[in-house]
Amino acid sequence: MPRSLIRRSLAAAALLLAATSAFSQAQPQEITLPLKEAWFEGQIVHYVSTDISDPGIARKQGINYVPALADTLKPGMPVERAYKFPGDEQATVLPSIPRPVGGANADATYSPLWVLVMVRWKPGVTPHTLTSEEAVLAAEEKGEVELTRTKIVANWPVVRARGAALQGVH
């Protein structure tokens, strides 16, 4: 092999290595997602919203549209209700969280997949903050709210609750 070809090959390899190294250093080693607030048993918890089975909500929130999430509504699948106020008059209410958040979670029933139940205040009722699933169901029983179960499934992992947070959550 001629020396000039070897030199050019080595120079090209060095240039490629330098470009790859610069590219990998320019890529963020951490990403930032907005934390969303929800109520759980009278306390604020935080979750991230990454995926949803409704295209309109996905576009509005800038998250992934994942129609296959709706397949999790089959019997026996780990999907719980999340009580969502469509006018965003208050934070969503979640019926469960990991206990504790992180690798030591001992709640085998917790899942980050939620079927949305829309909560609407009935006319003439003064809205007040509902901070637990029990409060939502009591308000329904009193005739204060109407609950409408949807077929919308969201992937909302709880990342901070009760003083604990997943690693990297600020």
User: Cα separation of 84 and 14, whole Å?
Assistant: 55
Closest alpha carbon to 120 in 144, 141, 93 = 144
Amino acid 41: pLDDT: 97
The structure's pTM equals 0.81
pLDDT, tens digit (0-9, with 9 covering 90-100), for 94-132: 999 999 999 999 998 899 999 999 999 999 999 999 999
Name the phi and psi angles at 12, rounded to 5.
-65, -40
* Model confidence at 3: pLDDT above 80: no
Q: Per residue in 51-62, pLDDT tens? A: 999 999 999 999
Q: SS3 string of 106-131?
A: CCCCCCCEEEEEEEEECCCCCCCCCC
Q: Taking the CA of residue 17 as centre, how many other CA atoms within 13 Å lie in the half-sphere pointing to its CB?
A: 6
